Amino acid sequence: MLYFIGLGLADEKDITVKGLEIVKRAERVYLEAYTAILLVQKDQLEAFYGRPVIVADREMVESQSEDILKDAKDVDVAFLVVGDPFGATTHTDLLLRARSISIPTRTIPNASILTGIGATGLSLYNFGQTISMVFFTDEWKPTSFYPRLKENISTGLHTLVLLDIKVKEPDLELLAQRGKVEYLPPRYMSVAECAQQLVDVEEDLKEGVCGVDALAVGVARVGAEDMRIVAGTLGELRNQDLGRPLHSLVLIGRRGHDLERDFLEELAVDKEKFKKIWDENYGKQV
């Protein structure tokens, strides 16, 4: 059987007991290593699991899935995913490939950022569509997320923004010059970078969606002992350093509840400013 096993958000101990039992008996164990990362290194996972772990990068999962699926009709294979197994569509594709060749599959769920974001005090019932923010370049500044963000804002709903991760990205300039494949150092978008890009897009499109005075929450390392949560305007958050990855951002919807305000006020960059903007523009039924 092919098992899809969620690892949770922080470290090697976030795996469920059921998931750990499967890992210990599986013939092969793969760790998906490009849609998200744990906050510990692979060797810590191996020490805790008591067995070797094969890192599965994007190329392996998307183009060499036959290596993962090999013999999975006859032996147990574990495919480990940070967070919950189906927070990324790539893993759905792998399951469908297994199903197409009659390999049995089973899913072991775990916490993901989609549920862990409740640590901000914002009600999960008040979230709209989740969006992703990629790194902008001088030549490429996509705004395809903006209509979905605007739709959430128009109905007063919070928006979870998932921030870009660049892992094992080829150096295209070097490839063009020398025909040699080398990989760039990993990059992880910060809350500050995301807030700045949101403000930049608003300055271009000017539809009142994500300007400097829009309230937001920046989070880092959800579920870890050193988790950080900071509330404020996008203008304030673009100057905040929340430390090492992974980061996420929530743009607060205007029909937020007073309990959400009370929770976040204590975590605000400027408590008085946060409360003033909230009382004037938020907590309203849209």
Q: Where residue 243 sits, what CATH number does that domain have?
A: 3.30.950.10
Strand order in the sheet with 228-233: 131-133, 159-163, 247-251, 215-220, 228-233
Instruction: For residues 101 and 136, state if they share a domain.
Output: no
In this structure, are 12 and 91 located in the same domain?
Answer: yes
Would the pLDDT of 113 be above 90?
yes
73, part of any domain: yes
Same domain, 47 and 134: no
Whether 238 is covered by a domain: the verdict is yes
Percent of the chain that is helix, strand, coil (3-state, to 5): 40, 20, 40
Indicate if 130 and 74 belong to the same structural domain. no
Residue 37 confidence class, pLDDT cut points 50, 70, 90: confident
More confident residue, 174 or 142: 142
The pLDDT of residue 286: 59
CATH of the domain at 107: 3.40.1010.10
Considering 62, 79, 111, which residue would you say is the last residue of a domain?
A: 111
The DSSP symbol for 164 reads P
Do 119 and 106 fall within a single domain?
no
286 part of a folded domain = no
Same domain flag for 94 and 163: no
- Give me the mean pLDDT over the 21-34 stretch: 93
Give the pLDDT score at 188: 94
Question: Does a structural domain hold residue 244?
Answer: yes
- Give me the mean pLDDT over the 74-83 stretch: 95
Are residue 11 and residue 95 in the same domain, yes or no?
yes
Q: What are the distances in angstroms from CA 151 to CA 123, 131, 146, 202?
A: 18, 12, 9, 15
The b/e string for 50-74 (b: 16+ C-beta within 10 A; e otherwise) is: eeebbebbeebbeeebeebbeebee
62 pLDDT exceeds 80?
no
Which residues line the annotated binding site for S-adenosyl-L-methionine?
9, 84, 87, 112-113, 163, 222, 247
- On whether both 61 and 92 belong to a single domain, the answer is yes
* pLDDT at residue number 90: 72
- Same structural domain for residues 249 and 136? yes
Give the count of domains, the chain: 2
Q: How far apart are CA 268 and CA 276, in angstroms?
A: 12
Binding site: what residues are annotated?
A: 9, 84, 87, 112-113, 163, 222, 247
Q: What is the mean pLDDT of the chain?
A: 92
Confidence band for 40, pLDDT divided at 50, 70 and 90: confident
pLDDT tens by residue, 147-184: 999 999 999 999 999 999 987 776 667 666 677 677 77
User: Where a domain ends, among 56, 91, 111?
Assistant: 111
| Same-domain status, 10 and 93 | yes
**Once rounded to an integer, what is the mean pLDDT over residues 132-143?**
94
Asked if the model's pLDDT at residue 21 lies above 70, the reply is yes
Confidence band for 283, pLDDT divided at 50, 70 and 90: confident
Q: In terms of domains, do 104 and 130 share one?
A: no
126 shares its domain with 224: yes
pLDDT at residue 172 in the model: 66
Last residue of a domain, one of 92, 111, 130: 111
Q: Is residue 34 predicted with pLDDT exceeding 70?
A: yes
pLDDT at 66 over 80: yes
Quote the domain boundaries for residue 147: 114-281
Q: Answer yes or no: is pLDDT of 28 > 90.
A: yes
Locate the DSSP E strands across 38-127: 54-56, 77-81, 105-108
